[in-house]
Amino acid sequence: MQDDVGTGGHVPVMLGRVLELLGPALTGPDPVVVDANLGLGGHSAALLAAHPSLHLIGIDRDPFAIEHSTRRLSPYADRITLVHASSGDLREVLARAGRPVVNGVLFDLGVSSPQLDEAERGFAYSYDAPLDMRMDTEQELTAETVVNTYSAAELTRILRVYGEERFAPRVAGLIIKERAKEAITSTKRLADIVRDAIPAATRRTGGNPAKRTFQALRIEVNAELSALEAALPAALDALALGGRVVVLSYHSLEDRLTKQALTARTRDTSPPGLPVPLEAHQPRFRLLTRGAELPSEEEVARNPRATSARLRAAERIRVDD
């Protein structure tokens, strides 16, 4: 979700491709699109500019994102509905907005630029900051709470599943040992602990050894995967005939969930061996991308945070009677 931050910031990831994929779904009268991870509103601003009759529903759990995008999108104030909520609440958000059927949905997952760049948010191991990592600053659970109260088994599971950290037991064990001496409250101390837990030979490759642990904690604190698991089916259910969904993910767990959700809706589920396919079992969607599309080398050179982006998209081709 790497958006631009005023001048000199980062442009929205794969913006041209996002506009290209969503565009055909937004040509009818009074189209509605959902930006399920609003961030700083870069994709939303481009969509509103490109489609003069478009109404946009923007969702974000970060109050700063809502505040910033309200200002940024003020020229389109009569065509936007911005909601402070998790994307996992997408179904309820659409119901409250009186828009149960929409024409497009964009998911730009991951962490936004200000969350990474503002040290006090505690997302980055490159800054010494309070161990926070909350996207929604109004929620109670923080990374500090997780690190200092979860059991060794719970920490190991989080690190292994969400961070894909092969040394998860070692990292969890050292966290338990160090927090017994003094509570772990800063990103620097946690990063140092992780570094000490990883074998020296492994530390020489693969970048900062704390990367996987910080990713795991961020996903746990913000319930990112459970939000996506709820939001994607809700988005697909809400799409009108010809409606499209575009998903930008930034790590393998997000991309895997996206692939599974889209594959399930684009597969013929008729029992094998039937002479005629059953209408009720025909796919309701078709894939618009072959596998996961990657950003161009030019974009990655311009915006290194786009490096890990993976884009998938699908279109509704049938509706249930």
Mind listing the pLDDT tens digit for each residue in 25-62? 999 899 999 999 999 999 999 999 999 999 999 999 99
The phi and psi torsions of 63 (rounded to 5 degrees) equal -55, -35
Q: Is the pLDDT of residue 199 over 80?
A: yes
State both tokens at 122: 């505690």
Asked whether 39 and 112 are in contact (CB, 8 A), the reply is yes
* pLDDT value at residue 6: 38
Burial class (CB in 10 A: 0-12, 13-18, 19+), 317: middle
Q: pTM for the full model?
A: 0.89
Q: pLDDT-derived band of residue 4, with 50, 70 and 90 as boundaries? A: very low
pLDDT at 170 over 80: yes
Structure tokens given for 240: 């009108």
Q: Which of 46, 32, 40 has the alpha carbon at shortest distance from 81?
A: 32
Query: How far is Cα 149 from Cα 59, in angstroms, rounded to an integer?
Result: 31
- pLDDT tens-digit series, residues 232-268: 999 999 999 999 999 999 999 999 999 999 999 998 8
DSSP β-bridge partners for residue 186: 130
- Cα–Cα distance, 284 to 276 (Å, whole number): 17
Concatenating the DSSP letter of every residue in 188-255 gives: HHHHHHHHHHS-HHHHTSSS-TTHHHHHHHHHHHHTHHHHHHHHHHHHHHHEEEEEEEEEEE-SHHHH
Place of tokens 């958006």: 3
In whole angstroms, how far apart are CA 111 and each of 32, 52, 121, 214?
A: 25, 29, 11, 12
User: Mean pLDDT, to the nearest integer, of 269-273?
Assistant: 72
Q: In the prediction, which pLDDT does 321 show?
A: 64
